[in-house]
Amino acid sequence: MESKFVQLRKYLAEAMDLLYVYELLSWDQQTNMPPEAAETRGQLSGTVERLYHLRVSSPELGQLLEDLKSEVENLDPDSDDARLYKVTLREYERRTKVPPEFVTELAETIGVAYSAWERAKSENNFPHFQPYLEKIVSLQRNFANFFVPYDHIYDPLLAIYEPGIKTLEVKEIFNALRPQQVELIRQIDSMPQVDDKPLHQYFDPQKQWEFGVEVITKFGYDWKSGRQDQAPHPFTVGLGHGDVRITTRIIPDYIGSALFSTMHECGHALYDMGIDLSLERTLLAGVKSLAVHESQSRMWENLVGRSLPFWQYFYPRLQKTFPGKLDDVSLDAFYKGINKVEPSLIRVEADEATYNLHIMLRMELEIALIEGSLEVKDLPEAWNLRMKEYLGLKPENDKEGVLQDVHWAHGYFGYFSTYALGNLISLQLWECINKDIPDLDDQFKRGEFGALLAWLREKVHRHGAKFDAQELVQRITGSKIDSAPYMRYLRNKYQDIYGF
């Protein structure tokens, strides 16, 4: 007779298959789907999401978990089986509080809302998206209320993406971080600005694509297990072992967009590609901390991709790829240009010093929407006021303001904070990495990234969702999520670049 854990893994395998089908439908919608298919795709996505929900909230799974309860008590709490039980139980308990009809309605709404957002953004027409977003916000409020009592109405939404962390905890981290970042920006603003004009000229889109492919191939992206496409908003989707896809966005007259979004998404993909095969087709392979995930993408994009050693290897190749474009631009000038600090309207184009302020702004607006203190119709004005307050800028239109991100169209309320948390985690890991690999910069100068990837595979990737963010960071660094390493990094980097 099969053991209960074998039965659990078999049961979860079909649930994961459904989850991957749902993700595949989403990938197709953002890359290939005909515009008129939005309503049909919403219905299809709703059906698949409902089937997944029913499977992970079924009495059969509940009985399996109950049968395993006594067995788990005798296991090493860090073993795969013990952690699988913990994560599955948490997902089961969360899902059993949510009616299947609600899951279907939310998925169908999101399926249509994404296409409405695409059109609204392209036409700079927030009123077109407004009714869809109003319904999504209403549904998210209803979702949160399935989990009464809670410490804060936002907690159930945050828990989807960052289990184990509460709204108050994130607010405390951000409240401590914000004044430090504002002061750093003030110091930078008092110094002569660096020149990034060479980045803002025509760069052949196909060559941009090819150069990005060269870079992430060096990083270790496995093209036999993945592919890259273009999308309005870059993203990564993991569909199980052997299928991890990325997307990028190319702007012909700005080389930084495709370059750094490709590196960013590659960082996500390397994480998914590195999950231990023993966890395949279980929740340990599919429901990971997004803060940890973002630590990987931000690490490869910024700590590697915006570093001087990286460009000591790649800059001559970039100059050769685009003859006549950067011939008179020194390595030092290029390095400073890609690290220019200047408040900007667009989050995905923001520099490292201002990026977290974009995240704090969005989280505050999300909380206000869910609490009911802000209505969707007033969102553009609230967005613009906070942009002025935080970054000293006011969007000229909603396309570069409230419509710029895809997350709300996907129903991703609770997601944004993970970007900033990921930044903090990336530097905590980075300090450990540099202690363990003291010649890391020299390796980058030679175009070698294997040692870094191997470290991340061992310490982070292989575990999948075995550990929550705070647990994993504590295990590796000895402390929970802490902003101090991040601020040390920013100060050192920008003191060097700006000379203050």
Q: Residue 393 phi/psi, 5° resolution?
A: -130, 155
pLDDT at position 311 is: 98
Spatial contact of 24 and 237, defined as CB atoms under 8 Å apart: yes
* Domains of the chain with bracketed CATH: 4-150 (no CATH), 167-498 (1.10.1370.30)
With a cut of 80, say whether residue 437 has pLDDT above it.
yes
Contact 75, 81 (CB under 8 A): yes
Which pair of structure tokens corresponds to residue 270?
């390397």
Coil, helix or strand at residue 443: helix
Work out the end-to-end distance of the chain between its first and last CA atoms, rounded to an integer number of angstroms: 70
Res. 287: pLDDT tops 80:
no
> What's the confidence (pLDDT) of residue 1?
64
Above 70 in pLDDT, residue 363? yes
Q: For residue 214, is pLDDT > 70? A: yes
For residue 104, the number of C-alpha atoms closer than 13 Å in the C-beta half-sphere is 9
| Percent of the chain residues topping a pLDDT of 90 | 96
Q: For residue range 139-175, what is the model confidence (pLDDT) as tens digits?
A: 999 999 999 999 999 999 999 999 989 999 999 999 9
* Average pLDDT for the chain: 95
Quick one: what percent of the chain has pLDDT higher than 70?
100
Span 252-267, pLDDT tens digits = 999 999 999 999 999 9
Determine which one of 265, 294, 301, 352 is catalytic: 265
Residues sharing a CB contact under 8 Å with residue 186, sequence separation 6 or more, in sequence order: none
Backbone phi, then psi, for 194, in 5-degree steps? -80, 160
pLDDT, one tens digit per residue, over 378-430 is 999 999 999 999 999 999 999 999 999 999 999 999 999 999 999 999 999 99
Gyration radius of the chain's alpha carbons = 22
pLDDT at position 233 = 84
pTM metric for this prediction: 0.94
DSSP letter at 149? S
Q: Provide the pLDDT for residue 35.
A: 87
CB 255 within 8 A of CB 438: no
Mean pLDDT across 58-66: 97
Establish whether 371 is a catalytic residue: no
Euclidean distance between CA atoms 277 and 266, whole angstroms: 20
Is the Cα torsion angle 135, 136, 141, 144 positive or negative in sign? positive
Distance from C-alpha of 331 to C-alpha of 22, rounded to nearest angstrom: 45
pLDDT at 322: 98
Q: What mean pLDDT do residues 97-116 have? A: 93
Residue 457 pLDDT: 98
Find tokens 């935080």 and name the residue.
Answer: 390
pLDDT of residue 111: 86
Q: Are 429 and 295 in contact (CB under 8 A)?
A: yes
Average pLDDT over residues 350-378: 96
The candidate with the shortest Cα–Cα distance to 408, out of 95, 38, 129, 201, is: 129
State residue 232's pLDDT score.
85
Please check the confidence at residue 329 and state whether its pLDDT lies above 80: yes
For 215-233, write each residue's pLDDT tens digit: 999 999 999 999 999 998 8
Query: Could you tell me which residues come within 8 angstroms of residue 431 by beta carbon, excluding any fewer than 6 positions away?
Result: 477, 485
Q: How sure is the predictor about 353, in pLDDT bands with cuts at 50, 70 and 90? A: very high
